Structure 1
Amino acid sequence: MARRPPPEDDDVSLFPFLSIICAIIGVLTLMIAAVTLGQMNQDDVKEAVENAIAMEQIQKELAATEDAVEEMSIQLDKEKAKLLDNAGSRQNELVKSRAELEALIKQLADTKKKTEEQKKIKIVIPEIPQGQRETVADMQTKLSTIKERLALLQRNLDEKKKPPEEAQVSILPGGTGLSFTPNFVECTASAIVLHTEEPPLLIRNAEIAANPKFVALLEKVANDKNQTIIFLLRSDSLGTYRIVKKLCDDNNVRNGKLPAVGNGRLDLRHFRK
């Protein structure tokens, strides 16, 4: 049997060489990576940065959108609850209205029933004896009597509606001036009334002296010996009479006076016969 040769003392270990080779390979790998990074396009780097920024902005907008969606969901839940409450109220109103309608229908049915019962009631009119019955002639006689009474009442009512007749104050001739033709001037508290005019003319106290109608009357009487002025004095006309009396006396105008008792319309027909 062959024998194994003894080991030689001159064998060399390969481990140090393998370590050096691995180190060289690592250095080469780093060098290749550095060269590759150095040769990368700057635009690609910028685009990558912009994409990262855009992605961050999109994430922010997405978060804001999610918040808005959540808020809208809460609002919708509130609206839904409100609608449910309104629906409940309407349902209650509907139930109430239906109950009222049923009550009205029942009331109508009761009314119809009572009406039908009343229709069934027979009206019995007691018979009046022949001698107590009122004839058409009797009715016409009563109608004529009623019409006469109405006519009488209407006449009485018309008489009451008529305004009261104005009282008249009659002026009667008297004194020593009957031979003169009178020109009547009525004196009141604040004015005179010329009955020589048609219709009678009222002149206030402040305008008497300058009134052309009164001045013309003074001239007429002063220039005619058959004319005179007769002042008709009301109960409150003393002050007015003094004014016109002085004007006549100052101008030598013939004048006189007669009382007019009362407040009625003056009646001068006794002087016009």
Structure 2
Amino acid sequence: MAKRRHKGTDEILLIPFLDILCSLIGVLILIIVVLCVAQSQQTQGRTAEEVRMAQEHKDMLKELKEREEQKVKVEQMLVKLQEVQKNLEDKQQRFVNLRKLLSSSKELQEQNKEISMKLQKELDDLMTEIDGMTRQEKETKKEIAALTAELEKRKIPESKKLPPVVVQPSGSGMPETTKVYFVECSSGSLKVLGAWDDQDYRLSASASVVVADVAYNHFLTEVSKDKNSLILFLIRDDGQTAFNAGAGRAEADYKVRVGKLPIPGRGQLDLALFDKFRGKIPAPAAGAPAPTPPAGTKS
């Protein structure tokens, strides 16, 4: 501690202490700034880039859903157009038959003018219906053209499509007898990939749905029948919670062997390297109740 003599009194020199204190304050401020910057660049443990990619994925799913809805509308309008065209053809044929009857049956007109008047009225009504249906056909075609154009605009350009994610077997491979089934885990949902009829099946990853969903529990029941089966859960960066729900049900209640594989990026999954190991099960019966887990397990 530095001291100096001044007028016979001992004085403590405080300048070194102030220097140290200022240095400590500066270091603390720097640490706080670094922590704030790091915190601002992360959201719920994810970096800003991961958040951006997650938002892009969410927007893409929304876009795909809207495109699917547009496609369904087009299909419905095409069915409606076919019905209109068929009805129009029927009406036109009836119109031709009635006109032929009226023009050729002079004797009928003279014998029964009342019948003739009814036929003429029906002919006039048919003309009105034909005009209306012709306009409806044109409007339906116009609406279909507009929906088709909207679908075309919503197509994702090849240059903007994300590259596929090739899923590769880990380690030294697996036994030839292994039958592998895939479940994709993403934010709030599970998707069984092509386990039956080459169709994917999506369900909510909430615990209540996973326990009660008929198709998912049918899937687990069928897979559990073969001890060589493996369900490989493919986990997107936001799919850990979904994995916990889906894999937990498979392991705890059905004693199915499971594996997990983190999936980087947002591209479509390419499972071609597993083709010879892919397992298949029969499709769930329509309207069937959810199967009960095997005896000795909890539900």
- For normalisation by structure 2, the TM-score amounts to 0.35
Q: Look at both structures and tell me which one has the larger radius of gyration over its CA atoms.
A: 1
TM-score of the superposition, structure 1-length normalised?
A: 0.39
Identify the structure with the greater strand proportion: 2
